[in-house]
Amino acid sequence: MVLIGGARFNANEKLILKRRCGSVVTMVRDRRSVYGLIKRIYRVVCTCHRYVDLLLVSWFPVPHYPDNDPLTIRIGLNGLDVNNITELDMVPVYDIQPSRVGVEIDVDNDCMFMLRMDGIDTMSLT
């Protein structure tokens, strides 16, 4: 478990239809918000009594905004199993935006809708 801006996030939770997941995070990459699952949490401690918290994250596909509005966030899955994404990225905790994220999975349309509890997305349409 890690606290980011007072919000609690867990590692290695699975996205399950109709259940809350406390491991979905968001951050800005290449001028747009992206979403992913925390797989592991690491704390690196050095001899100078400082530490850095790092997250191992699997990122979801790039979000789209069907209403051209940063509050309506849709991620097309194209058959992807989001619980088993093999591409992982190490990210410092301070790069993560402190916003809890709800996920609504639309199985029929093979997509997810992200529901941010705080803040709005940074859209880069170019």
Encode pLDDT of 11-61 as tens digits. 988 888 767 677 899 999 988 999 999 999 998 888 777 888 899 999 999
| d(C-alpha 32, C-alpha 39), whole Å | 22
Q: Please, are residues 53 and 92 in contact by the beta-carbon 8 Å criterion? A: yes
- Mean pLDDT, residues 92-119 taken together: 90
Residue 76 pLDDT grade (very low, low, confident, very high; cuts 50, 70, 90):
very high
For 25, phi and psi rounded to 5 degrees?
-125, 165
Greater pLDDT, 124 or 72 = 72
Number of helices and strands (H, E) in the chain? 0, 9
How high is the pLDDT of residue 46?
Answer: 81
User: Dihedral angle at the C-alpha atoms of 78, 82, 87, 91, nearest 10 degrees?
Assistant: 130
Q: Which of 10-14, 32-36, 81-85, 122-126 has the lowest mean pLDDT?
A: 122-126
Tell me: pLDDT of 84 over 70: yes
> Can you give the residue ranges of every domain in the chain?
2-116
Q: How confident is the model at residue 50, as a pLDDT?
A: 80
Which residues are CB-neighbours of 54 under 8 A, at least 6 positions away?
Answer: 41, 42, 43, 44, 90, 91, 92, 93
